[in-house]
């Protein structure tokens, strides 16, 4: 049975994302979502969205790609990328822009930036940290990325993590009581990644034991996960 509506999900709007998933809009990410929604009217073609691991940067990047019909490049493959090919598209998403880069990757990053500015291609950079903390050796590149609009995503609060859990259970056609969800969000790491892991682990345990997801089961699985047993 599909999960019934929950108190955790009522206050969040949805944005379609790549793969047909939904992105939940909350105070922690509202500014970033509004920035993505207004991509056609950006004051500068390049911008940065940053936030801690598990805050939803990758998912919001997928929202950006779906909205712009853009292409994605990761920092790990930047040295082999072709900036001219990338900026021939309406938009480019560069994930992990704060990762250390070799000289060739920085050179191509700089070229990508300049081509985006010249062409008007929207270049969205995602990172865990703001540009002032990026380890960029190329001075011209560092000065440019530190001058672009920067939007921060805050860590998700308990309500948002609860809503993500409810959606994960609903996607798996599992009914879970609000009391179980409240128990989980009060004790688990507050991130989207952990919400997905917890939902998957509970689904597997419930199937293996042929039982509903109850408080005792949730407590046991969460304990196993947090102590490294799963």
Q: What is the pLDDT of residues 132-189, one digit of tens each?
A: 999 999 999 999 999 999 999 998 888 888 988 998 898 888 989 999 999 999 999 8
Give the CATH architecture of domain 27-152: 3-Layer(aba) Sandwich (3.40)
- pLDDT > 90? residue 14: no
Q: Which residue has the higher pLDDT, 23 or 6?
A: 23
- The domain limits of the chain are 27-152, 156-226
pTM for the predicted model, two decimal places: 0.77
Q: What is the mean pLDDT of residues 188-205?
A: 90
Q: How far is CA 80 from CA 42, 73, 166, 208, in A?
A: 28, 10, 40, 45
Q: In which band, very low, low, confident or very high, does the pLDDT at 122 lie, cut at 50, 70 and 90?
A: very high
Q: Which residue has the higher pLDDT, 107 or 25?
A: 107
Q: In which band, very low, low, confident or very high, does the pLDDT at 70 lie, cut at 50, 70 and 90?
A: very high
Q: For 156-226, which CATH class?
A: mainly alpha
Residue 68's closest CA among 98, 35, 43? Answer: 35
Q: What is the mean pLDDT of residues 211-225?
A: 94
Rounded Cα distance, 43 and 147, in Å: 12
Q: CB neighbours of 74 closer than 8 A, spacing ≥ 6?
A: 94, 95, 96
Tell me, what's the pLDDT at 172? Answer: 87
Task: Tell me what percent of the residues of the chain surpass a pLDDT of 90.
Answer: 69
- pLDDT > 60? residue 18: no
Task: Provide the β-strand partners of residue 122.
Answer: 91
Q: In which band, very low, low, confident or very high, does the pLDDT at 59 lie, cut at 50, 70 and 90?
A: confident
Tell me, what's the pLDDT at 219? Answer: 95
Tell me, what's the pLDDT at 54? Answer: 78
Tell me, what's the pLDDT at 190? Answer: 85
Residue 16's φ and ψ, nearest 5 degrees, are -65, 145
């Amino acid at each position: 049975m599909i999960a019934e509506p929950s108190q955790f999900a009522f206050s969040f709007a949805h944005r379609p994302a790549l793969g047909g998933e939904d992105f939940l809009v909350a105070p922690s990410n509202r500014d970033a979502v509004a920035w993505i929604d207004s991509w056609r009217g950006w004051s500068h073609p390049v911008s940065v969205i940053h936030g801690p691991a598990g805050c939803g940067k990758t998912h919001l990047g997928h929202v950006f790609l779906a909205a712009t019909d853009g292409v994605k490049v990761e920092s790990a493959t930047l040295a082999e990328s072709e900036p001219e090919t990338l900026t021939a598209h309406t938009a480019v998403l560069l994930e992990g822009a704060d990762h250390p880069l070799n000289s060739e990757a920085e050179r191509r990053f700089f070229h990508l930036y300049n081509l985006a500015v010249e062409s008007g291609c929207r270049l969205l950079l995602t990172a865990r940290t703001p540009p002032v903390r990026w380890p960029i050796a190329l001075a011209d590149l560092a000065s440019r990325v530190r001058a672009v609009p920067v939007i921060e995503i805050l860590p998700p609060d308990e309500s948002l993590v609860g809503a993500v859990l409810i959606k994960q259970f609903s996607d798996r056609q599992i009914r879970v009581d609000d009391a179980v969800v409240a128990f989980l969000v009060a004790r688990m790491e507050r991130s989207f990644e952990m919400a997905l892991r917890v939902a998957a682990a509970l689904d597997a345990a419930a199937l293996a034991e042929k039982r509903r997801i109850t408080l005792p089961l949730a407590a046991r699985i969460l304990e196993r996960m947090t102590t490294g047993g799963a």
